[in-house]
Structure 1
Amino acid sequence: MSDGVSRPVRENREPRWSRFDTQWYLLRYPEVRDWMREEGQEDPYAFYLQTGQRYGHSPNRYFDEMWYRDAHKDVRQGLIREDWASGFEHYMATGYKTHSPHWLFDEPGYRRRYPELTQRFFNENGFRNGYDHYLETGESHYYRGHHFFDEELCRELSLTFPDHFDSRIGLFSSWLGLPAHVADAGRVSWYFDPVWYLTRYPEVRQEIAAGQYSSALHHYLTNETPRLFDPQEFFSEQYYAQSSPDMVPSLENGYFRNGYDHFVRYGAQEGRIPQEGVDLAAHLAQTQVRNDVRNRLYDSAFAHLVAGRTGLGEGRMAALASVSELPEEHSRILFEREAEAILPSLVRHPLDFTVHGIPEVSVLMVVYDRIALTAQALASLRANYAGAIQLVLVDSGSHDQTRHIGRMVRGATILRYRHNIGYLQGCNLALEKAEAPFVLYLNNDVRLYPDAIVHALARLRSDAGIGAVGGKLIRTNMHLQEAGSIIWRDGATYGYLREDDPNLTTANFVRDVDYCSAAFLMVRTALLRRLGGYDTRYMPAYFEDADLCVRIIRAGMRIVYDPGVAIEHLEFGSSGAAGSHALIQGNLKTFARLQQDFLRYQQPAHIRNAVLGREHRISQRKRILFIEDRLPLRRLGSGYVRSNDIIREMTALGYQVTVFPIMRRDQTAIDLFGDFPETVELIVDQDLSDFADFLQERVGYYDLLWIGRTHNMARLLPLLNESNRYLPAAGPVLDTEVIATPRTLERIRVLGLPEADISLDDMLHQELDCARFCQRIVAVTAHDADLVRRAGYDHVSVLGHELFSQPTPAPFEARHNILFFGAIHDEGSPNHDSLIWFVEDVLPLLDQMLPPEIHFTIAGYVGPDVDMTVFSGNSRVEIMGPVGDPRELFDRHRVFVAPTRFAGGIPFKVHEAASYGLPQVVTTLLREEVGWADGMEVLAAPANDPVAFANAVERLYQDRELWENLRQGALGAIERDCSPVRFRQQLSDIIKTCIA
């Protein structure tokens, strides 16, 4: 039975940590029963208040009194001054807001890890703090309260000792009450090994037996000499201090409990070496490791490494590894067994290919036995596309149940032959029956991935110059067969990226190619008939599709590889590999003889020429290598949106763009393939360290090098000097994105930092020193362009932002609350600084002006190292983090604020808010940067006057007429200043001056 002492958070509910637990108290302190008898006391809670607090007793399992006193200096001082009877009294009164109550729960860390847990969220949902949230709902929803407690590992321990765990209170609460022999029987964290620890330090076992500590983990996290103990075999305090001397001063100054504290919080993410012989950076470089960490199977590469080396995590990793390591002979068997499994259903429920009117596509399929494969391919075809498909089946002398295929398929044209006439002749005979404007050559040993037909038809219809479309062929073992194919100079062919991962970004961009295999090849019917179908000199099969594609190209038409057309292929499933290879060798000679005029211009057969050969040589598209800090995803905000727009417009102008990020970052498939045009090649598995090799591999490939951000130009300059022979002769374009010197000087002034002993001109020359290598410099504003000229460079162009006006429809009365939407990449950045100023200096003033229900929303990308708890403690603040489509966000808010105190370039967030029709209050600095009029397009106030800024926010929030006027004025300014048409023309002019 438990008694509670607390102010209720909401009716009939108290935080678990606030309750006095009688049963636990008497078990934890057995001597209390004797003391109570001596004092004539019968109520344990009363005894705790009168006596137990003075002895440092804890009131329940969730609060550790002695640790709390030792961990928090302000608490110790308050107890000395007798401000509090105990640490628990302090925690109940005020400490719960900021202090961690227990050595196994990190309150500040919890709120940093989950920034959506703002004070406003707690107030609205009846939680007192993060610990309350964790104990009530967080643990059950896989929130992590401490690095040293992993619920999944604890669950494994509970299976060994089920009698010691109570499902009513959860794993964490149960573990806090475990006897030492159970708690120390196994890991509850990849960061600590209790079995190894007690073996290494047998004296700890004695201290636990004496009641000084409740478990090995308790000892490690609370002992008075933390730098003398290693937590497990894969970390050495001594070695870490030697290999990471830069962190030692922080350790000596008490910022970290020990070296392991630093390593767990920072070093593991940085790839530092935890123990001699443990190469964490190499482990982190593995794609599977990064994916497992990103997908939160492990919270760091170190945890992943420990799991693998101990063997305890093999179950998690084996499930992922087993799929990619499935031998192809096994996957082929599985493919065919799955085909056989659908036969009964098709006999009972035949596929309907009946066409009324003119079909959209004529599918030509030649079959010889293998009824199950054919049935599976046809079922996949019918399920893939609901439109009008004319199916022409050629039964080339089958001896199995294929003779009865008509019982499984209705509405098909079936051509039967008593002997095997071969694939090529069968296709030509089927072509005579084709009635649709497009013909699809389709093997009977394939399965179509979703919307393959839709994508292929759309691609052909998009451009009359496209003669044929092929797709991404994936073998049954989930390795690529081809991502478009190359025809070498000797006539041999190569499936680009064969054996690689189908999800590689280099396999997933649209391009013109030499040919695509006819396992799936969609061609214009009129073109096919004009060319006479397949050349009969290749009978019975092989190289007929390569020859057809060459003839299509020679007819002035394009062959396009579209990765959206994805097909699983049982390679050689319809013919048998042994006989196929013999036919291939014979027809290779025929192909090389017949197409020698075409072949002499092809790349020589060498894998190093694959990048040059993967696109058909006749393509006249110029190629641009675009370099940025990281892949410029739109959700990252800041200058990345502009970079993304530049890439989109380059593509629209007809250029082939490759994006190379200087810093490697793991990205999701949604980021990679949803944020860029389909013809853009993204490089995600290389970074600055690979750049020289990348250039050498692609010598002569690019016509222009576009480098985003001046600091990237400076970093690349030594490499560019060394590798100049591999680069376009005219030199790169430097897109400055922002001239940082004025921002740096303004930051020094605003923050009162020591003034730099250097002039504006000297700083400009230093910042732009690397620009001497460039043929053109791009500035984002005319003001920045003037600064570039001031630094001595006249070859400068201006390229701003592009935005469409897309005002959200909600009227003034339907909107509520204040919005900030922008990226916070680093602490101390302009956006981060502006929010600190607004939350600390402006919001308190608004408390006197606006009702308490009006809240301030912070939305946008937040860097992984940014601590948002500096904002979340304010009861008006709601933190949303990144959002996909911000339109709904702008539609429901009434006022946008941009309280920037120092910045440079163009404030994209101001333009973006204006494009959505959301009136805003900005600092005078930003108003001057955009060049808009105060009271006409924005309201502006000085960044050093929080009263004026608060008054402007209150005025705009309450004044509908002002709100409407600013909305219309800003929308007009966007159409004037951010015209996409003008942006594209300016970009086109810049590129044309740089590419001869």
Structure 2
Amino acid sequence: MSRAVFHLDHADRKSLAGWAYDVDRPERHIRIIVLDGTEYLTEVTANTFRKDLEVAGIGTGDHAFHLALPSFLQQGPALRLRLIDADARAVLAVITLAADFEPADQLLGRLDEQLQRELGEARAQAEQSLTARTLLDGMLPLLDRLLQAAQPALAESPLPDGPFQAALAAARERFPPVSLREHAEPRVSIIIPVFGKFELTHACLATLSELPDTTPYEVILVDDGSADETLLAPLLIRHMRLLRNQSTLGFLRSCNAGAAMARGEFLYFLNNDTELQPGSLDALVALLEEEPETGVVGSKLINRDGTLQEAGGIILRLADGVNYGRGGDPLDGRFNYRRDADYVSGASLMTRRAVFDQLGGFDEEFLPAYYEDTDYCFRARAAGWRVRYQPRSAVIHLEGGTGGTDLTVGPKRHQVVNARRFLQRWRKVLLGHAPAATTIEVEKDRGAAFRVLFIDATVPTPRQDAGSAAAACHIRLLQRMGAKVALIAASHMGLQGEDGEALQDAGIEVLHHPFAWSVEEVLRRRKDEFDVIYLHRGEVAVRHITTCRALAPKARLVYSVADLHFLRLERQAELGDAGPPPAVVVRRDAEMAAILQADAVIVHSPAEASVLQACAADHVEVVPWAVPLVADGPGHAERQGLLFVGGFRHAPNGDGILWFVQRIWPGLRDMLPELTLTIVGSHMPAEIRALGEQPSITVAGYVEELGPLYAAHRLAVAPLRYGAGLKGKVIEALATGLPCIGTPIAYEGISLPCIGSVQAAGEDEFVLKLAALYEDAAAWDAVRQAGLAFARSEYSEAAVTAGLRRAIGSLEPRGAA
């Protein structure tokens, strides 16, 4: 236990003086480390005797210190020094020293004089067959400090004529100055090791300076012995941190050295032959923020000609690396979903600082370079971290721009040597990898427990319709069961914007045109890949289940009906609005034929299960979808008005709300004159929008977030006159604590204990029950609590997962000829 008392008597850019004393351990002389930000500067031990300290009872008086600061700190930008108790690892003080710059004319004159002297000596050494680098190594630390200090002065004063002015002018003409963003507290440290080829470094940093990304970053340029314009980097690149290696360390050690001086919580290793595309930096950070179990993430690498270079790396059994997707189209759905990768290329690799420290950085067993990134990813995974590919981070990479491409000469030869080392270390792990790249589409998702092709009519839009909410929920839970899920939208083959991209971000492979053209085309190419084919909605199963059985006879066919369309048509016909009776019969026969071909049939309510079982379908499972519970919300008195929610592509919703406004609303307004109605839904036709012209009716259209509306209204209404299946508007209202008055069709398959209070069969009963529940706070709260309890029991993720396991887990394929 230590309790240090610290006092600073004097502080300027030349020296620090004061005393430090450990109250609990007076015999200890505190060793003080001085940091500039996170960079080590110097240290001193507080062990000097001062009589005044002895008189004051500060131990035996030998606890003072006086520290001369390094000369290069005496001029320059403002300093923020941290004084650390080295043993206790505690901060003793934080000192800010104001900026102090040498006048520009004096500084530039001294710089020119120094350069002339050093370059002259270097020339003489070169003439004696010595490398100019030998002398320049000793000169570079001073040169860098002078150049860094010169930046503010050069912004104000022109350069005097001379060799240095000419050299700098030539460099600036070729490489226009770049100003990076300056962040006092960077979240990301971008570490760029370089060895010459300043034209690549300049292009990389120029692109970085123009990114619209908002993540605070710092750039650490690690120079491993450059002899080109990299020497002038401080005058050409503003707001970067420069580390000059005193001797050539190689790529691996340069990366580790850069990491040692990094301040960010995320370390981003970036080759200098790269160009980040907009959003690429933010996307890497977003994945690490959203996935706390992920320790390493890498980018989609794109060739200069626009073709794909790599979409996450794959390692085969003998340690051969496969750049997955090489030569493909970067927009292809196969390459645009988040997934685990064997490794991600060190050309663009982000990792948590904590993980890097835990693993001890890149292993020097792989000096000087190659396979160090692959080994790092394998070690991270062995330590319990995930390694992920993030397609939203697109980076152009001039492959071989730094190290070349010839495996027999230069730095690239180490790739062959280190592959052997890697194989020796990871041989047992690699036994589980494929021996060759012949099954690469399977190998890229090696960790999947089973593989599902999910076929829907469109990309699910869960915020717009209940069928999509069910599909999105089942996809998500199949993933949690260990499935790798690929989705194809059979009727609308596009990616469909944000909804398709959200699935990709969730790790779903979305197959879309122009890279996939039909269900049949996909199955002919990948027929042996899928263990389960999940057909969602009647129109999909009727059209495609025979093709699926023929082309993928080993796959389990699961048909989720969403709702029984023929049943909906029969009920619509009873209202005189479903076309001629033969059309209903044809639809019934088509749906039943699809049901009988499936290995398992999923319905969302017990009512539909009963209908199918009466038709001799004995392989039916009741599997609803999960809805999130919102147990806390305003009480009866804090709410007002009625709410209707429904997507208007689904005909029963339009019919229901029109019937409600025309036949029920007038009676309600007579009983409750202040009552209001809000109508919400996507794809709203003109006749529904026209309802907003009536007093106290608000037509809101599509609303992105329904939570505030559920919380503000006192009752939901579900006035459906026909339909089939589980009604999303009802179960979502119950799960958010909003009592819902509905017809028997609306509550079909929902065995709510208090069903008598909320189900209304006719117009008069609807008016009376709604008005009673609207006014009675105690009854309202009882229904609210009953609805929450029912939703918790029936529509939880655990209950839905159990149903999916029953439907998928134990059935053998039927009819596989």
TM range (shorter): 0.5 to 0.7
CA drift of 1:840 comes to 2.4
Question: Is 1:638 aligned to 2:469, yes or no?
Answer: no
Cα deviation code 1:637-681 (max 9, x no counterpart):
122211111111122233221122221165653322336762122
Task: Tell me, yes or no, if the aligned pair for 1:846 and 1:950 is still in contact at 8 Å.
Answer: yes
Question: Is 1:993 aligned to 2:815, yes or no?
Answer: no
Alpha-carbon separation, structure 2, partners of 1:933 and 1:432:
63
CA 1:482/1:459 → structure 2, altered by over 3 Å: closer, same or farther?
farther
- Which one-letter code corresponds to 2:224 in the other structure? D
Q: Which runs of 5+ in 2 are unaligned?
A: 1-170
> 1:366 matched to which residue of 2?
194
CA 1:763/1:451 → structure 2, altered by over 3 Å: closer, same or farther?
closer
> 2:787 matched to which residue of 1?
970
- Which one-letter code corresponds to 1:940 in the other structure? Q
CA drift of 1:591 comes to 6.8
CA 1:659/1:976 → structure 2, altered by over 3 Å: closer, same or farther?
same
Question: Is 1:830 aligned to 2:652, yes or no?
Answer: yes
Alpha-carbon separation, structure 2, partners of 1:631 and 1:698:
20
Alpha-carbon separation, structure 2, partners of 1:811 and 1:432:
55
Question: Is 1:736 aligned to 2:561, yes or no?
Answer: yes
Q: Which runs of 5+ in 1 are unaligned?
A: 1-335
Residue pairs, 1:305-704, within 5 angstroms: 343=178, 345=179, 363=191, 365-370=193-198, 372-373=202-203, 375-376=205-206, 385-386=215-216, 391=220, 393-402=222-231, 405=234, 412=241, 414-417=243-246, 422-424=250-252, 426-427=254-255, 440-444=268-272, 445-447=274-276, 449-452=280-283, 454-455=285-286, 457-458=288-289, 461-463=292-294, 468-474=296-302, 480-486=308-314, 491=320, 493-496=322-325, 498=327, 500-501=329-330, 505-522=333-350, 524-525=355-356, 529=360, 532-533=363-364, 535-536=366-367, 545=373, 559-564=387-392, 566-572=393-399, 575=402, 602=434, 604=436, 611-615=441-445, 617=446, 619-664=447-492, 669-674=497-502, 678-685=506-513, 690-704=518-532
- Which one-letter code corresponds to 1:749 in the other structure? E
CA drift of 1:811 comes to 4.0
> 1:913 matched to which residue of 2?
733
Alpha-carbon separation, structure 2, partners of 1:786 and 1:456:
45
> 1:954 matched to which residue of 2?
771
CA drift of 1:576 comes to 8.3
Question: Is 1:794 aligned to 2:618, yes or no?
Answer: yes
Please report the TM-score for the alignment, with normalisation by the length of structure 1.
Answer: 0.55
Match of 2:677 among 848, 856, 859: 856
Cα deviation code 1:751-805 (max 9, x no counterpart):
3778848999x98665322233322222222232233322223232221232232
CA drift of 1:823 comes to 1.3
Cα deviation code 1:552-602 (max 9, x no counterpart):
7799975321235x2533525953878799769866765776677759954
CA drift of 1:361 comes to 6.7
Q: 2:478 is paired with a residue of what secondary structure? A: helix
- Which one-letter code corresponds to 2:791 in the other structure? I
Alpha-carbon separation, structure 1, partners of 2:516 and 2:191:
47
Alpha-carbon separation, structure 2, partners of 1:752 and 1:986:
35
- Which one-letter code corresponds to 1:372 in the other structure? H
Match of 2:603 among 759, 775, 779: 779
Cα deviation code 1:694-718 (max 9, x no counterpart):
1122233222111212332221133
Task: Tell me, yes or no, if the aligned pair for 2:188 and 2:216 is still in contact at 8 Å.
Answer: no
Task: Tell me, yes or no, if the aligned pair for 2:644 and 2:679 is still in contact at 8 Å.
Answer: yes
Q: CA RMSD in A?
A: 4.5
CA drift of 1:876 comes to 4.8
CA 1:425/1:918 → structure 2, altered by over 3 Å: closer, same or farther?
closer
Task: Tell me, yes or no, if the aligned pair for 1:543 and 1:591 is still in contact at 8 Å.
Answer: yes
Cα deviation code 1:911-936 (max 9, x no counterpart):
11122222222113333531235576
Task: Tell me, yes or no, if the aligned pair for 2:566 and 2:587 is still in contact at 8 Å.
Answer: yes
CA 1:700/1:872 → structure 2, altered by over 3 Å: closer, same or farther?
same
> 2:49 matched to which residue of 1?
none
CA 1:621/1:530 → structure 2, altered by over 3 Å: closer, same or farther?
farther
Q: 2:703 is paired with a residue of what secondary structure? A: coil
Alpha-carbon separation, structure 2, partners of 1:611 and 1:738:
34
Q: 2:234 is paired with a residue of what secondary structure? A: helix
CA drift of 1:951 comes to 3.3
Alpha-carbon separation, structure 1, partners of 2:233 and 2:582:
90
Alpha-carbon separation, structure 2, partners of 1:935 and 1:783:
15
CA 1:480/1:791 → structure 2, altered by over 3 Å: closer, same or farther?
same
Alpha-carbon separation, structure 1, partners of 2:213 and 2:578:
67
> 2:759 matched to which residue of 1?
940
Alpha-carbon separation, structure 2, partners of 1:650 and 1:413:
49
Structure number having the greater strand percentage: 2
> 2:573 matched to which residue of 1?
748
Q: 2:746 is paired with a residue of what secondary structure? A: helix
Cα deviation code 1:135-179 (max 9, x no counterpart):
xxxxxxxxxxxxxxxxxxxxxxxxxxxxxxxxxxxxxxxxxxxxx
CA 1:378/1:633 → structure 2, altered by over 3 Å: closer, same or farther?
closer
Alpha-carbon separation, structure 2, partners of 1:699 and 1:397:
53
Alpha-carbon separation, structure 2, partners of 1:493 and 1:667:
27
Task: Tell me, yes or no, if the aligned pair for 1:483 and 1:498 is still in contact at 8 Å.
Answer: no
Alpha-carbon separation, structure 2, partners of 1:338 and 1:819:
66
> 1:182 matched to which residue of 2?
none
Task: Tell me, yes or no, if the aligned pair for 2:315 and 2:321 is still in contact at 8 Å.
Answer: yes
Q: Which one is further off, 634-643 or 924-933?
A: 924-933
Match of 1:984 among 801, 806, 811: 801
Alpha-carbon separation, structure 2, partners of 1:995 and 1:437:
50
Match of 1:901 among 714, 718, 721: 721
Cα deviation code 1:836-856 (max 9, x no counterpart):
2112222343443343x6443
Task: Tell me, yes or no, if the aligned pair for 1:919 and 1:970 is still in contact at 8 Å.
Answer: yes
Task: Tell me, yes or no, if the aligned pair for 1:353 and 1:411 is still in contact at 8 Å.
Answer: no
Q: 1:522 is paired with a residue of what secondary structure? A: strand
- Which one-letter code corresponds to 1:993 in the other structure? S
CA drift of 1:886 comes to 0.4
Task: Tell me, yes or no, if the aligned pair for 2:558 and 2:598 is still in contact at 8 Å.
Answer: yes
Please report the TM-score for the alignment, with normalisation by the length of structure 2.
Answer: 0.66
Task: Tell me, yes or no, if the aligned pair for 1:592 and 1:599 is still in contact at 8 Å.
Answer: no
- Which one-letter code corresponds to 1:520 in the other structure? S
CA 1:511/1:849 → structure 2, altered by over 3 Å: closer, same or farther?
same
CA 1:422/1:595 → structure 2, altered by over 3 Å: closer, same or farther?
closer
CA drift of 1:884 comes to 0.9
The count of corresponding residues between Structure 1 and Structure 2 is 629
Alpha-carbon separation, structure 2, partners of 1:673 and 1:415:
42
Q: 1:926 is paired with a residue of what secondary structure? A: coil
Q: 1:820 is paired with a residue of what secondary structure? A: strand
Q: 1:693 is paired with a residue of what secondary structure? A: helix
Match of 1:880 among 700, 704, 709: 700
CA drift of 1:939 comes to 2.4
Task: Tell me, yes or no, if the aligned pair for 1:637 and 1:823 is still in contact at 8 Å.
Answer: yes
Residue pairs, 1:204-353, within 5 angstroms: 343=178, 345=179
Residue pairs, 1:99-138, within 5 angstroms: none
